[in-house]
Chains A and B, each alone.
Chain A
């Protein structure tokens, strides 16, 4: 039992400096496992055995390092030389080479710049755009080992809070740090806590929102898989601050690995007395329970989430009353995002001033982004607020795949908007993104290139909201359907200039009248593309043309004179509508063609034209 702050200090001292050991870190997040880290791990283990190094080099299964672009990744720590290197795209066959690298000899391995990935102690290193607070332990510790977390200063903040601070002090510290909710809205966390702290009630709740529904965002999963104790510790601190003994983590069922690691972590924390009764001998008690989502994006909205925990349909309800006054089981409740919580322990440990020294004045600290889409280096990045988009996409992300032309970056998921090249130097924080007609959202960042049709992208997001709308209020249930229908018309060449007016008006009115955040933001992808890319809408409406060549109804495939009659396309066409003799020019029967583009992709002679 770690039942006093002294015990925690003793235990941490006993564990020693984590840097003082030879280690191989292996990235075992969902993404890494999908990319094949498990056989790499097995083969490294076998190699250590055979070389008799099993005791001198520790093999650490860590969570996500964020280097999605190069999975499977591993990292080497040589305690004697201080050498730290990351290798990407590692194969099981390279196990030997990895061990050789310990003696300084790097051969045949794909080395990755450490600029990607710097731990807490090394943050603010010059020339390194990333700074890790929320991800401080992700990819560095074994998330299934409590001692790893403790050796990395884990639970020191909780000990400090419950033994050296009053609940008011804690709220004050979080308020002073300026931490804003990372779940999308950017509401000041300290203010939210103060509302709930003010309520008089013998039972209150702390809820961690781990629903992470934004498709294309996976930072919460990375935290839960890579550093679950940091969330538990923060929830307990929040409980102490607002006077609550009950924590609930609402996690989406699509994250089995995160669920498993959370279960293990809760078990460990309870076992050591870090959760439960009389934490650190302070008399404060806090427990955490897991509740599962069941596939509904809207359940990320806090009132819907609460109803979902209560076993109902996840339909949002009108606020007021706000959860801080009347939340779960009608008790005062705070709902915070995983990443928000992941910042809390560091703030308590290092102080609000340290936190405000990072980021911008109105948005202090860092933000994690899931960089994906057409960018070269896809992955999870954490940068100080205020970092320009360009630095993320062209710096960390190293630009566009196949060196195509950058067209837009979509932030904020289905609630956000598209930002085009001329705004790439905007420093990102909550307010500047809203000014651009987008949103911070949870931090999904999808990069698009010249091949993406912005009308179709807007349509994609609307299709998503349409699918995920709870259907309770008229503007969202019917209005989004109508928006979607209009966008579909445009992509089919049936749009008229009047359609554009209607889109604008309806979009604006849905924002103005919908009941919850989902409907209030769902027109953003349409409205922002209408403003940023009017020429693409016009091309579809006036010229009946899709400039990016995406909207199939507006494309025709024809065979040009470059055709040598190789028959390949005819053999691949799924509906068999290409005919022609061998060595003769082929023709496409336009009446049967389903515009799948297979022929275009298969022809080796570039003889198929797409207009």
Chain B
């Protein structure tokens, strides 16, 4: 709708002017009036809009209208007179909340979502002390069959946010409303458990769910058990995007970089060594860039696609099985870390790999699934044993009484703790590509180039394209985040419409900083912007900003792997893909 005309409306007796097409919700916001919402969700930076008007918690009274109007989707009209808390509107909202609660387990004390639940917050705001319209509740079995996500539809309030996240944003398309009336619910394909479907475990549905119907699998107890097992040596790795988000769990400003505090906290929890996935990210760049330059030189099998996101990997295995040969065969940093830890490092400290437990702290739910993929197990030993999300680490620290915000800064252990700025930016969409270009440029020119900022590939936009000159080579690059954007790009590649040399793809819109395992943002995308800024600031602040300059990486090749792309590197650091087809 055009924004040229302004609408004059009155809300609760106060006049306000808004653009044509604005909703009552937006107009009220201008006056500092908060109208509760549940089903409504918008992520403006990703053009994600879920405005179905279905929960009816946002109803308000509009003069001259027969019934109450849902504020989230009713456009204002000139001279509209609105009452957001007239008795009728309040009664409507209370009744709607009452009805939702009447079909809800009310298990807050033992709910994974407690403290982060939009329904719980609403109930607290409204302070309904009884549920007036009690009656039959829906009963569904739990889905506990996968590594990443727990589905408890008994808590589903039918906001359908997950459905839009999976189908419209991610275009994985495995969630759909099924049945109708009181029996209606959102379920995966044919109502099967998630692990029997095309689900890629990106966790964007979990991030979208306002309640505890979709939550992550919690593995904290397994970590505690390992830490308290005297026979085990337990090491931990922390992914790039965790450090810029974990502070949110302790009331710190979004965008605070808490790397050092997090290291201290992990050490206090009792890990034998605290390492950095960033080290492995540098390693990934070594392998991936070698593969990339090799393919460019040979002029074959282009474009090369990054492969460090397991959500994306599973996506192309299901949806583009004909293209499984184009992604890089390099493992993700998490898995490279695990492989090196269980070989090089285990040998170094003289521990049987069977007694070495590798724990990862990841922004991601797909990493849980990735670590359990059978190809990442050698001789019955998994490369990565337990994967925790950022949120789980927050819980562990709270339980252990470790107040992250008050801790002193610590340093990562050696030898798997050293990293460069190139690795830090893996946490943001565009980072992997930028890191690879930094190394490629140096390698091709044989110089230590000073301009390392490839800003064209930064930002939260879903699809970024750039032609960058790397040592005289015109590299056509694309960066895509969000699987919907990935699908559109891949379709263009499949049809031959688009030609690139290198493409970075991340399943989550905006990259790992917006991963399914990060602290909930409840639709506030300024948090994502703050996290992204923090990542690039961290990169800037580091002395070394190119992966191939990481001294421990250089040492690793010298002592153990030989050359990038060597036989041993292939055995430990590369993988293969399965054409899974549609399930």
A and B physically associate:
yes
B96: interface (CB < 8 Å): yes
B184 at the interface (CB under 8 A from A): yes
Interface flags for B98-124 (1: CB within 8 Å of A; 0: not) read: 011011000000000000000000000
A472 in contact with B54 (CB, 8 Å): yes
Assess the B99–A478 pair: CB atoms within 8 A: yes
Residues in chain A near residue B184, CB distance under 8 A = 470-472, 477
Is B181 among interface residues, defined by CB-CB distance under 8 A? yes
CB distance from A82 to the nearest CB of B (A): 53
Q: Could you tell me the distance between the alpha carbons of A320 and B24 in the complex, rounded to whole angstroms? A: 13
What residues of B have a CB within 8 angstroms of the CB of A315 in the complex?
177
CB-CB nearest in chain A for B57: A474
Contact, CB under 8 Å: B92 / A481: no
Q: Is the beta-carbon distance between B158 and A477 smaller than 8 angstroms?
A: yes
Task: Tell me if B177 and A481 are in contact (CB < 8 A).
Answer: no
| Contact in complex: B54, A485 (CB < 8 Å) | no
Q: A466-B181, A470-B181 are in contact. Are A485 and B56 (CB under 8 A)?
A: no
Min CB–CB distance B293 → chain A (angstroms)? 47
A485 partner residues in chain B, CB cutoff 8 A: 135-136
Contacts of B56 in A (CB 8 A): 473-475, 513-515
Chain B residue contacts of A474, Cβ below 8 A = 54-57, 96, 99-100, 157-158
In the complex where A318-B70, A475-B96, A478-B103 touch, is A502 in contact with B181 (Cβ < 8 A)?
no
Shortest distance between the CB of B516 and any CB in chain A (Å):
26
B229 touches A (CB below 8 Å): no
> Across the interface, do A473 and B55 meet the contact criterion of CB distance under 8 Å?
yes
Q: Taking the complex as formed, is B127 at the interface, i.e. its CB lies under 8 A from any CB of chain A?
A: no
- Indicate whether B422 reaches chain A with its CB closer than 8 angstroms: no
Residue B73 interfacial (CB < 8 Å): yes
Are A502 and B133 within 8 A (Cβ)? yes
Task: Say whether B135 contacts A470, CB under 8 Å.
Answer: no
Please, which residues of chain A bring their CB within 8 A of the CB of B67? 511-514, 520
CB atoms of A513 and B182 under 8 A apart: no
Q: Which range holds the interface residue count of chain B?
A: 35 or more
Q: Is A611 an interface position by the 8 A CB rule?
A: no
Q: Mark B64-102, 1 if CB is under 8 A from A, else 0.
A: 000110100111000000000000100110011001101
| Residues on A with beta carbons closer than 8 Å to the beta carbon of B181 | 466-471, 477, 481
Whether a CB of chain A sits under 8 angstroms from the CB of B183 is yes
Task: Give the distance in Å from the alpha carbon of A482 to the alpha carbon of B131 in the complex.
Answer: 12
Q: Does residue A479 face the partner (Cβ distance < 8 Å to B)?
A: yes
| A321 nearest CB neighbor, chain B only | B75
Which residue of chain A has its CB nearest to the CB of B88?
Answer: A512
| Residues 289 to 337 of chain A near chain B (Cβ within 8 Å) | 296, 298, 313, 315, 317-318, 320
B179 within 8 Å of A (CB atoms) = yes
Secondary structure of the B contact surface, majority rule: loop
B35 vs chain A, min Cβ distance (A): 14
Q: Is the CB of B95 within 8 A of A506?
A: yes
The verdict on B462 contacting chain A, using a C-beta distance below 8 Å, is no
Bound: A70/B369 CA distance, A: 70
Q: Provide the bound-state CA to CA distance between A144 and B132, in Å.
A: 58
CA distance A481 to B136 in the complex (A): 8
Contact with A along B149-184 (1 / 0, CB 8 A): 000000001100000000000000000110111111
Q: Which residues of A contact B102 (CB under 8 A)?
A: 478, 482
Among B75, B88, B158, max chain A CB count under 10 A is at: B158
Neighbour of B182 across the interface among A478, A511, A514, A520, CB < 8 A: A478
**A-chain residues with CB within 8 Å of residue B533 when the two chains form the complex:** none
Tell me the smallest distance from the CB of A235 to a CB of chain B, in Å: 30
| Chain A residues, CB < 8 A from B92 | 509, 512-513
Q: Which residues of B contact A478 (CB under 8 A)?
A: 99-100, 102-103, 133, 182
Residue of chain A at shortest CB distance from B51: A318
Q: Which A456-494 residues have a C-beta within 8 angstroms of B?
A: 466-475, 477-482, 485
Residue among B54, B57, B75, B88 with most chain A CB within 10 A: B54
Q: Is B53 an interface residue (CB 8 A)?
A: yes
Closest chain A residue to B77, Cβ basis = A320
Q: A506–B133 contact, CB under 8 A? A: yes
CB distance from A315 to the nearest CB of B (A): 7
Q: Does B540 contact A (CB under 8 A)?
A: no
A505 on interface, CB distance cutoff 8 Å: yes
How far apart are the CA atoms of A318 and B50 in the complex, in Å? 13
* Complex-state Cα separation, A469 to B180, whole angstroms: 7
Interface hits, A489-529 → B, CB 8 Å: 502, 505-506, 509, 511-515, 520
Residues of chain A within 8 A (CB-CB) of B136 are: 481, 485
Cα(A193)–Cα(B54), bound, Å? 29
Please determine whether A513 and B177 come into contact, CB atoms closer than 8 angstroms: no
CB contacts (< 8 Å) of B267 on chain A: these are: none
Given contacts A502-B132, A513-B67, contact A313 B53 (CB under 8 A): no
Q: Which of A317, A469, A505, A513 is B96 in contact with, Cβ under 8 Å?
A: A513
* Complexed CA–CA distance, A478 and B57 (Å): 13
Q: How far is the CA of A505 from the CA of B74 in the complex (A)?
A: 25
The winner among A296, A313, A466, A512 for most chain B CB atoms within 10 A is: A512
Please name all residues of chain A whose beta carbon is closer than 8 Å to the beta carbon of B182 when the two chains form the complex.
Answer: 466, 469, 471, 477-478, 480-481
* Interface mask (B333-362 → A, CB under 8 Å = 1, otherwise 0): 000000000000000000000000000000
Given contacts A315-B177, A478-B103, A482-B102, contact A513 B59 (CB under 8 A): yes
- Chain B residue nearest to A318 (CB atoms) is B53
Q: Are B135 and A512 in contact (CB under 8 A)?
A: no
User: For the complex, what is the distance from the CA of A298 to the CA of B179, rounded to whole Å?
Assistant: 13
The answer to whether B95 and A509 have CB atoms under 8 Å apart is: yes
User: Are A320 and B75 within 8 A (Cβ)?
Assistant: yes
Report Cα–Cα, A514/B73, bound state, in Å: 14
Contact indicator per residue, chain B 176-203, by CB within 8 Å of chain A (1) or not (0): 1101111110000000000000000000
CB pair B73–A471 under 8 Å, yes or no, is no
A470 near B99 with CB under 8 A, answer no
CB distance from B131 to the nearest CB of A (A): 10
Whole-angstrom distance from the CB of B379 to the nearest CB of chain A? 50
The reply to whether the CB of B464 lies closer than 8 angstroms to some CB of chain A is no
Interface presence of B295 (CB below 8 A)? no
Q: Which residues from B are CB-within-8-Å of A471?
A: 158, 177, 179-184
Residues on A with C-beta less than 8 A from B232 are: none
Given A474-B54, A474-B99, residue A296 in contact with residue B180 (CB < 8 A): yes
Question: Which residue from chain B places its CB closest to the CB of A466 in the assembled complex?
Answer: B181
A129→B99 CA distance, assembly (Å): 48
Residues in A with CB closer than 8 Å to B55 are 473-474
Whether a CB of chain A sits under 8 angstroms from the CB of B544 is: no
- The CA-CA distance from A513 to B60 in the complex, in Å, is 9
| Nearest chain B CB to A519 CB, angstrom units | 9
**Shortest CB distance B187–A (Å):** 13
B52 on the A face (CB < 8 A):
yes
B50 to chain A, nearest CB (A): 13
User: Smallest CB–CB gap between B514 and chain A, Å?
Assistant: 28
Q: What residues of chain A lie closer than 8 Å to B57, measured between beta carbons?
A: 474
- Residue of A with least CB distance to B181: A469
A1 to chain B, nearest CB (A): 45
Which of A315, A475, A478, A505 has its CB near the most chain B CB atoms (within 10 A)? A478
The residue on A at minimum CB distance from B93 is A513
- Which A-chain residue is minimally distant from B184 (CB atoms)? A471
Which of B75, B95, B103, B133 contacts A513 (CB under 8 A)?
A: B95
- Closest B residue to A469 by beta carbon equals B181
CA gap between A471 and B187 in the complex, in Å: 14
Question: Could you list some 17 contacts between A and B, CB below 8 A?
Answer: A298-B180, A313-B177, A318-B52, A466-B181, A470-B184, A471-B181, A475-B56, A477-B158, A478-B102, A481-B136, A482-B102, A505-B91, A511-B67, A512-B68, A513-B59, A515-B54, A515-B70
16 further contact pairs, Cβ within 8 A, besides A481-B182, A512-B59: A313-B176, A318-B53, A320-B75, A468-B181, A469-B180, A469-B182, A470-B184, A474-B56, A474-B158, A475-B95, A475-B96, A478-B103, A482-B102, A512-B88, A513-B56, A513-B92
B-to-A contact residues, CB < 8 Å:
52-57, 59, 67-68, 70, 73-75, 88, 91-92, 95-96, 99-100, 102-103, 132-133, 135-136, 157-158, 176-177, 179-184
The 6 lowest CB-CB distance pairs between A and B, nearest first, are A471-B184, A318-B53, A478-B99, A469-B181, A509-B95, A482-B133
